[in-house]
Amino acid sequence: MKSSPSESLHYEALKSRLIELDEVLARDWKADERRWLEAVEATARVLFSILEQHQNVSETEGGLLVSATDLKPGLIPESERVKDEHAEMLRRASDLQSMAALQIVSDDFDAEAVCLEMTILRTILQAHLGRVDTLMYDAYFRVEGGEGG
């Protein structure tokens, strides 16, 4: 089974957001904290939306996770971990967006705290993408009984 165009688009969109997180993190926030926080807030908002769509496409009946575990029930624990990551990333993206927006509105900046939260979200997203790659490989390409044997 191959992923649907919608699933592939969401996966590629998440990879693009990972690059965007890297770019925002690489900026010199000390030069203009407000502008940097605005970029963080916008990035977190878009990431949340894409994560929400990704979760819906992945976890619904006929989605990649359901199909993978139907094919190989031994992947259920890893599938559950991926689902937990969806919820964690959604929560963190929402919190990051709120944190940045509140600091902008209150004109009370703590860019270091925002940077730390963004780094954590970025790390979870990177690990998630790798875990999904492995899960899909195990579900659709790995031959049971081991490779080369």
Minimal CA–CA distance to 89: which of 21, 9, 1, 4?
21
Domain ranges of the chain: 41-140
Asked if pLDDT for residue 64 goes beyond 70, the answer is yes
Asked if pLDDT for residue 10 goes beyond 50, the answer is yes
Q: Which residue has the higher pLDDT, 1 or 32?
A: 32
Residue range 57-71: mean pLDDT, rounded: 90
Rounded to the nearest 10 degrees, how much is the dihedral formed by the CA atoms of 43, 45, 48, 53?
A: -100
Task: Name, in order, each residue with C-beta under 8 angstroms of 133's C-beta and a sequence gap of 6 or more.
Answer: none
| Per-residue model confidence as pLDDT tens digits over 74-109 | 999 999 999 999 999 999 999 999 999 999 999 999
Question: What end-to-end distance do the CA atoms of the chain give, in Å?
Answer: 24
- Cα–Cα distances in Å, from 118 out to 53, 124, 149? 20, 10, 43
How buried is 145 (Cβ within 10 angstroms: 0-12 exposed, 13-18 middle, 19+ buried)?
exposed
Asked if pLDDT for residue 2 goes beyond 60, the answer is no
Q: Which amino acid is at 116?
A: L
Decide: 131 and 68 in contact? Cβ < 8 Å: no
As given in the structure block, the two tokens for residue 43 are 């990035």
pLDDT of residue 148: 45
Q: Report the share of the chain in percent with pLDDT over 90.
A: 78
**CA torsion sign, 21 to 27 to 33 to 35?**
negative
